[in-house]
Amino acid sequence: MSFFSRPDLSDLQFKQLADSELHLSGTTYFIKTDGLQIADGSGNTIPIVGTGATDGFVLTYYDGSITLQASSASGGTTIFDTHRPTTRSGVPVVNVSGACTINNFLEGYFFPAVPPSSSLSVASGGNDREFGDSTYGNLCYDATRNTNQLCSAGVDTNADGSYDCFPITTPITGSCNGIYAYSFPGTCAAPATSGASQNSASYGMCVSTTASEVSCSSAGITWRNKKFYFLSSTLYAAVDALTLQGIANGLIGAQAVLSTSKSANLSLTFSNEFFYYMYPTTFGTPSFTVNGLPNNAWGNAGTGTLFKIAYTNSNTYLNEYYVARSDSRITGTFTIAIT
């Protein structure tokens, strides 16, 4: 059996000459908590302490020793307080928060993350409709990544307030867009009673990132009744309901507009013609101001210039309408205010 002596490597037993080299080829441990000490060139020693290791920390000369410090403390600086908002005049208030590192400060202050953006639109079928229009079509959605990865997205395609389609369910590296078919309750387009002035179907989407940023968007379809005006030399009455219906359904542009109010301001030129105004009775009876003066002869049920008809629009939706007209044929340019 061989025996080996274990010499004391203190200065008493072991000395290395100044111009010699010592190669430690194995693993060397410094067990003392104050670590290894090195000379600073002035006869003083500087301890190197590696205890209490923290992920991301580096060895830094700080306050008389070389110890593990946050990287923002390197180079002789102090630790940056990321939870302190800016206080200099003219600098936007930014509270970086998070880890006390230079990297986090630079990212949060100079290059803050841009949240995602989203958009949703009714791609076909139209946003503004007349009652009775039950056309279906597509929704167009877009989820755009800016800084952090998109990780989820949901789209409501049936206007019930909950998401039923999910174009993103796991993190993706880019952006996402596409179309989904939409639907809505039948009562939106054709309410059971004719007294409704407006119905809506609302669709929504939300997209989120791996950093819990969220962007939500919405789109909708609105149904209303149309109101109409036209000029004619013919005197129409309630018995002419079908004729008036045909005239109204053939009008376009400014003469036939979706509305929830009977109010209007018009400037029209007549040539020995009556003025006719048609709208749902739920809007109430009208008041006319003609060329700046109240005119009680127009739209007056007592004199026969205001009457009701059953009106079926071009989408086969039935409603009750008022027909208001002038009391006589007129010629010239008139300004007409209806309230």
Q: pLDDT at residue 271 above 50?
A: yes
The answer on 126 and 106 residing in a single domain is no
pLDDT tens per residue across span 316-325? 999 999 999 9
Per-residue pLDDT, 94: 73
The answer on 184 and 83 residing in a single domain is no
Does 319 reside within a domain? yes
Q: pLDDT at residue 304 above 60?
A: yes
Question: Would you place residue 248 in the very low, low, confident or very high pLDDT band (cuts 50, 70, 90)?
Answer: very high
**Domain end call among 91, 110, 129:** 110
* Between 278 and 111, residue with greater pLDDT: 278
Task: Note down the domain range covering 60.
Answer: 36-110
DSSP 74: G
Choice among 36-50, 114-128, 195-209, 225-239 with the minimum mean pLDDT? 36-50
Return the sign of the alpha-carbon dihedral for residues 210, 215, 221, 224.
positive
The answer on 316 and 243 residing in a single domain is yes
Buried b or exposed e, range 265-300, using 16+ CB within 10 angstroms: eeeeebeebbbbbbbbbbbeebebebeeeebeebbb
pTM (two decimals) = 0.70
Choice among 9-13, 150-154, 306-310 with the minimum mean pLDDT? 9-13
> What is the rounded distance in angstroms from the CA atom of residue 157 to the CA atom of residue 202?
9
How many helices and strands (H and E) does the chain possess? 3, 19
The answer on 125 and 54 residing in a single domain is no
Question: Would you place residue 11 in the very low, low, confident or very high pLDDT band (cuts 50, 70, 90)?
Answer: confident
pLDDT tens per residue across span 201-233? 999 999 999 989 999 999 999 999 999 999 999
pLDDT tens per residue across span 70-121? 765 444 455 556 666 666 666 667 777 777 777 777 777 777 778 999 999 9
Q: pLDDT at residue 127 above 80?
A: yes
Q: pLDDT at residue 277 above 70?
A: yes
CA atoms in the 13 A half-sphere facing the CB of 281: 15
Per-residue pLDDT, 57: 77
Does 158 reside within a domain? yes
Choice among 45-59, 196-210, 239-253 with the minimum mean pLDDT? 45-59
The answer on 192 and 250 residing in a single domain is no
Per-residue pLDDT, 76: 47
Q: What is the mean pLDDT of residues 191-195?
A: 78
CA angle 219, 223, 227 (to 5 degrees): 135
Number of domains in the chain: 3
Per-residue pLDDT, 260: 96
Per-residue pLDDT, 223: 97
> In CATH, what number is assigned to the domain containing residue 136?
2.60.40
The answer on 86 and 62 residing in a single domain is yes
The answer on 200 and 276 residing in a single domain is no
Does 213 reside within a domain? yes
The answer on 322 and 307 residing in a single domain is yes
* Between 205 and 7, residue with greater pLDDT: 205
Contact at 8 Å (CB) between 296 and 270?
no
Contact at 8 Å (CB) between 227 and 264?
yes
CA angle 51, 53, 54 (to 5 degrees): 155
The answer on 215 and 228 residing in a single domain is no
Q: pLDDT at residue 142 above 70?
A: yes
Buried b or exposed e, range 194-215, using 16+ CB within 10 angstroms: bebeebebebbbbbbbeeebeb
Contact at 8 Å (CB) between 325 and 270?
no
Q: pLDDT at residue 152 above 70?
A: yes
